[in-house]
Amino acid sequence: MVHIRRQSVLGSVFAILGVGIGFLNSGFLQPKLLTTDEIGILRYFISLSGIVASLASLGMPPVLIKYIPLAKSAGYEGKLHRLFVLFLGIGLLLGLGFLIIYLNYFQDKLGPEWYGYVYQFYVITFLLSTSISWLDVHGLTSKSIFARDVVIKLGFVTALAALYFFGFSFESFLYLIEAVYVLGVFFLLYSVFTKKIGLKLKKVKTRIKLPFKSILSLAGFSVIYNSINFLKREIDILMVAHLMSFSATGIYAIMMFFAVLVEVPGRGLNAIAPIRFGQLWAQKDMNALNSLYHKTSQNQLIIAGFVYVSLLSVMPVAFEIMPNGTTFSAGYLVVVWLGLAHFTQLGFGDSGRILYYSDKYRYNFYFTTLMLIMVVGLNWYFIPKYGLSGAGFATFLSQLFLNIIRWHFLKRHFALQPFNNKSLRGFSLFLLTLGYAWIIHIYADIENVFLKSALAVIPICIIYFTLIRYTDIALDLKERVETYLSKVRERLP
């Protein structure tokens, strides 16, 4: 538990550090130095390559999480590692084949001159995601979060600075971004070797056989589930590009950055908690599992609610500060709906991963597939009718639907429940502060957007801090706040 807390704290610190770098990147430099078309094309490359890389992993990361502890004790760890390498090699080639077919026959927005960049982004993204998975499997999530949220984002800023000072073409800038991702891969590989958790491929003479049938069964469902799960996060980018334009995609991508801030404080916990969920399922400790389920839900409900309300309150300031803010302010409702989707996901707890490691993990695939069909259908309906805000609203509705059915399923089949009276108090707090922020935003007759946002945010910060510290609305958060305050007092003269 100490290791989980340490990795959670480190992961959260690195994620929050990445927010500052991310704002410099997505909130200032990209809008200033790139056109909305160029931002849209770059984001399209990243989304498409990420989806295919997830598909090409062939479900091996979940297999490793489940079977590496068993392999160490049973003596087939080397065989499992060799199977991992074999699957990755096959998956890499299958992904390339899929991209070739998709680009040439199933899309008409991207010209052939861009195909080479897509293939390169895919290979690099595949190596990056594989390295991240390997570190996460071994409980070193802080390293992977640092690579993703600090190294790569800082590299983005450096590439944009080079574009500004040296006047590179957009094509040259894309090569710089690829180099940034390669740097992230090298950092992760360095972490792997320094922690001595590299692949064990030396042939070992042993008669112990792999549970191959069980591994294939889990991998088969995992590859479909993970790909669909990744696709549901990125499908709106692909559909905005298909139904609108790359310029609209660029605006939507920048607004996605702001909306995703809602989930940043919980990233450290979200990355490490699945390992604990897997352990508790293996031990059949339902009381501890239910307790962890509730704690993650309650903490995330409070934190995400605070961040969401604060974010909506300061967005007018963000549009005032960022270059071409008037252009990007057309995406304000995207932040509203996507931020609410993230809040919904966090508030319901980690139901998807809990279900994933149960003996009914197949239902996660069914539910996520149903959600993907729903989000595609809603996007087809809402994007032509309402534009960018329609895409955000479609994502929120489908996310809410998915979480409701997973919550009901876990409650019915396993008696697992993330909500109680404290959850109701946390949600009431969220609604009250959201209502206050909305009243200030709509009715306060203040022309200065900085003053107006401060009038909204400062009371909200005081309310949340006071309730967390002096009530039992979130005991884990209260304990953490007290710990931080104690450390501050120790350093004061």
pLDDT of residue 409: 93
pLDDT tens digits for range 100-137 = 999 998 888 888 999 999 999 999 999 888 888 777 77
CA separation for the pair 215, 236 (Å, rounded): 32
Handedness of CA 197, 123, 216, 371 (dihedral sign): positive
pLDDT of residue 337: 96
Q: Residues 6 or more apart from 71 whose CB is under 8 A from it?
A: 77, 79, 80
Give the CA distances from residue 280 to residues 81, 102, 194, 296, 416, in Å, rounded to whole numbers and listed in that order: 24, 41, 29, 15, 13
pLDDT of residue 54: 83
**3-class DSSP assignment, residue 106:** coil
Q: Write out the two tokens for 420.
A: 């109680």
pLDDT tens digits for range 248-283 = 999 999 999 899 888 876 655 555 566 677 677 767
Q: Which amino acid is at 391?
A: A
pLDDT of residue 3: 43
CA separation for the pair 79, 404 (Å, rounded): 40
Burial degree of 93 (CB within 10 A; 0-12, 13-18, 19+): exposed
CA separation for the pair 44, 50 (Å, rounded): 10
pLDDT of residue 157: 87
SS (H, E, C) 374-408: HHHHHHHHHHHHHCHHHHHHHHHHHHHHHHHHHHH
Q: Write out the two tokens for 232.
A: 């549901």
Q: Tell me the percentage of the chain whose pLDDT exceeds 90.
A: 34
Q: Residues 6 or more apart from 213 whose CB is under 8 A from it?
A: none
Burial degree of 132 (CB within 10 A; 0-12, 13-18, 19+): buried
pLDDT by position in tens, the chain (length 493): 444 444 444 445 555 565 667 778 888 889 999 999 999 999 999 989 988 888 888 877 777 777 776 676 666 777 777 778 888 889 899 999 999 999 998 888 888 999 999 999 999 999 888 888 777 777 677 777 778 777 888 888 899 989 988 888 999 999 999 999 999 889 888 888 887 776 666 665 566 677 777 778 777 777 777 777 777 788 899 999 989 999 999 999 999 989 988 887 665 555 556 667 767 776 777 888 888 888 888 888 898 999 999 999 999 998 988 888 889 999 999 999 999 999 998 888 888 878 877 888 778 778 888 888 999 999 999 999 999 999 999 999 999 999 999 999 999 988 888 888 888 898 999 999 999 999 998 888 888 889 999 999 999 999 999 988 888 887 777 887 787 778 777 776 6
